[in-house]
Amino acid sequence: MLELDQLRYQPATAEQPVLRGGSLRLRLGEAGVVSGPSGAGKSTLLELVSGLAQPDAGVIRWQGEALSRRQRRWLCGMVFQFPERHFLGLTLGQELRLAHRRLSQKAIDCVLDQVGLSRVPLTHPPERLSGGQQRRLALAVQLLRNPAVLLLDEPTAGLDWSVRGQLVELLQSLGHDRVLLVVTHEPELFGPLQPQRHQLRKGLLSCGVVAHGRCAELPHRCLPSPPAARGTRPWPINWSGPRLPVGEFAWWRWTQR
């Protein structure tokens, strides 16, 4: 279970806190949708959960254990708003293998099949993909890390209506064994996920309509079996090969621009 408990965050340059409290709890297989006006702190909330920022107060827990910033980076995969603006590879294959160079071709093929890109050649330039395909590629990059929590910042922004529906169906298929947390201006689009619905206004996270339900069950993912990890970890993460935690991965990709 992912738990957010009374998070508070105020950047050094801000006169008022961006986040001022509220709680959220999501079990494996559940989805949460957070909506609110621009500037309400939705993206900041995802940055805190993913470990890209550290809350001034409050606790983020996984399976009852409080997580450090670095632990959250390992736990979460984050798809940023308009992720296609941050692609670095010249081809689809290069984009997938950034920070995943030791992954087998089988693992890559499996992830591409999951997101519906199995028929696109690995030599295809990312910028020549359609808008919907580019979002699918961004999802594939994160799925290679096999995160227990998948965070999505406005995943349907800029897409036409038919593609938005297809993307929501894809998220439904990906959420059967992980937590999904989506921030959006269009919460009504994500009804098929049967999500918990929350609102974020003036920094306060409040619970609106709650529709608990698990995403549709699908066969288990065909990523490789995890190697034995050193030490113990407070969450059941399935390793899928060498990877960088989301925060360090995002920073590494930024430095390669």
pLDDT digits (tens, 9 = 90+) for 116-165: 999 999 999 999 999 999 999 999 999 998 999 999 999 999 899 989 99
Alpha helices by DSSP H, listed for the chain, are: 42-50, 69-75, 92-97, 105-115, 131-143, 161-174, 246-255
pLDDT digits (tens, 9 = 90+) for 196-233: 999 999 889 987 554 444 433 333 333 333 333 333 33
pLDDT digits (tens, 9 = 90+) for 26-54: 999 999 999 999 888 999 999 999 999 99
Amino acid 39: pLDDT: 86
- Eight-state DSSP code of residue 203: T
Query: Given a cut of 70, is residue 13 above it in pLDDT?
Result: yes
CA pair distance 78, 149, nearest whole angstrom = 8
The dihedral built from the CA positions of residue 124, 127, 130 and 132, taken in this order, carries a sign that is: positive
pLDDT digits (tens, 9 = 90+) for 102-130: 888 999 999 999 999 999 999 999 999 99
pLDDT digits (tens, 9 = 90+) for 74-95: 999 999 999 888 899 999 999 9
Class of domain 2-255: alpha beta
CA pair distance 49, 78, nearest whole angstrom = 10
Q: What is the CA radius of gyration of the chain?
A: 17
Question: So where are the chain's domains?
Answer: 2-255
Q: In 3D, which of 200, 171, 149 has the Cα closest to residue 44?
A: 200
Secondary structure (3-state) at 3: strand
Average pLDDT over residues 172-192: 93
Give the 3-state secondary structure percentages of the chain, helix then strand then coil, rounded to 5. Answer: 35, 20, 45
Q: Is residue 193 within a helix (H) or strand (E), and if so which, with residue range?
A: none
The structure tokens 């995002």 sit at 250
Amino acid 109: pLDDT: 94
Secondary structure (3-state) at 160: coil
pTM of the shown model: 0.80
CA pair distance 113, 169, nearest whole angstrom = 14
